[in-house]
């Protein structure tokens, strides 16, 4: 429901900071529900201060147009990154796939545990953990973006149970079945993203949205060891627990998932870091031109913009 521009924040004595400016689209600006949720998203993420979440600087309005000024990430989203790799028949190293998933879990652990200043849990559920919403910075940081359809007490209007929120091939069974979600829903979708990185395809993606939701609801979780040599017994166990349709059999918190993912990649006492990730990302970006990106599946439109 928004367009993202690159802009500049100006201060005194020649201070200039590049930012991303998210502007609500005109066709949605006049609709009360969309406008209230756009404002609610800004209010929610303003206080989510974490290295694995895109930072928000300001909610503003100019000539009746609302915008959110945010941290500008120099890099690409996970979908674009994987597109480059697969188009050029390059694998994503297993340890980096698990590292990316661990940083997603780390950001979710923070968001899920966020409370009001009075100590009341916000009950945040992102509900849209997918490759387009995972940003990879050239410095190696992994950041969760776009809380536009998140659940959070008192911030966004929620019609859960009546409408489906999210991308069909990256839903939890609860989302796909019009049920009320909690933080465990985000852990299932993190499992889907991890399986995508390891297999090179999303095993739950169907011919259309309905087919994808049916697969999520009914398809047995595959033995990932049989689908990819990158998956060993322990990683298969982590995937199965993340993708458990039984809520009680799934990871109960993002901290639990994070612990298992980090134990997996650092079991020998060393493993990937932000620097490792950044070096690999920059190497890929330098090796293949921007033209090698398949932008046809990217919804967010990026334009150059300069303003005060």
Nearest residue to 48 via CA among 128, 114, 92, 105 = 114
Neighbouring C-beta atoms of residue 293, cutoff 10 Å: 17
The interaxial angle of helices 233-242 and 183-199, nearest 10 deg, is 140
State the virtual CA torsion across 158, 164, 166, 170 in degrees, nearest 10: 140
Distance CA 297, CA 132 (A): 9
Active-site hit among 63, 128, 177, 211: 128
CB 230 within 8 A of CB 94: yes
211 is catalytic: no
The tokens 């929610």 sit on which residue? 44
Question: What would the two tokens of residue 120 be?
Answer: 């009341």
Q: Is there a contact between 137 and 285 (Cβ–Cβ < 8 Å)?
A: no
Contacting residues for 60 by C-beta, under 8 A, at least 6 apart = 66, 67, 68, 69
Cβ-based neighbours of 248, under 8 Å, separated by 6 or more: none
Q: Which residues are catalytic?
A: 128
């Amino acid at each position: 429901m928004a367009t993202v521009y690159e802009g500049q924040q100006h201060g005194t004595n020649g201070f200039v900071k590049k930012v991303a400016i998210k502007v609500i689209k005109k066709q949605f600006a006049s609709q009360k529900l969309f406008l209230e949720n756009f404002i609610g998203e800004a209010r929610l993420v303003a206080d989510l201060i974490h290295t694995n979440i895109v930072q928000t600087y300001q909610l503003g309005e100019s000539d009746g147009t609302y915008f959110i000024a945010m941290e500008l990430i120099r890099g690409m989203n996970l979908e674009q990154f994987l597109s480059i790799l697969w188009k050029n028949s390059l694998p994503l190293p297993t340890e980096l796939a698990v590292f990316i998933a661990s940083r997603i879990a780390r950001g979710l652990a923070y968001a899920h545990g966020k409370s009001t200043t009075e100590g009341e849990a916000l009950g945040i559920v992102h509900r849209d953990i997918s490759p387009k919403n995972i940003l990879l910075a050239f410095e190696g940081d992994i950041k969760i973006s776009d809380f536009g359809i998140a659940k959070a007490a008192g911030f966004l209007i929620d019609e859960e149970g009546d409408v489906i929120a999210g991308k069909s091939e990256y839903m939890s069974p609860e989302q796909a079945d019009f049920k009320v979600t909690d933080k465990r829903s985000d852990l299932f979708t993190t499992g889907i993203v991890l399986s995508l990185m390891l297999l090179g395809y999303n095993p739950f993606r169907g011919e259309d949205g309905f087919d994808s939701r049916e697969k999520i609801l009914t398809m047995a979780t595959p033995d990932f060891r049989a689908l990819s040599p990158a998956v060993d017994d322990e990683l298969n166990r982590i995937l199965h627990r993340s993708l458990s349709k039984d809520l009680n059999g799934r990871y109960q918190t993002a901290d639990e998932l994070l612990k298992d993912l980090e134990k997996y990649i650092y079991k020998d006492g060393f493993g990937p870091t932000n620097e490792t990730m950044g070096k690999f990302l920059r190497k890929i970006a330098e090796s293949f031109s921007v033209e090698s990106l398949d932008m046809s599946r990217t919804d967010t439109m990026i334009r150059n913009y300069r303003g005060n």
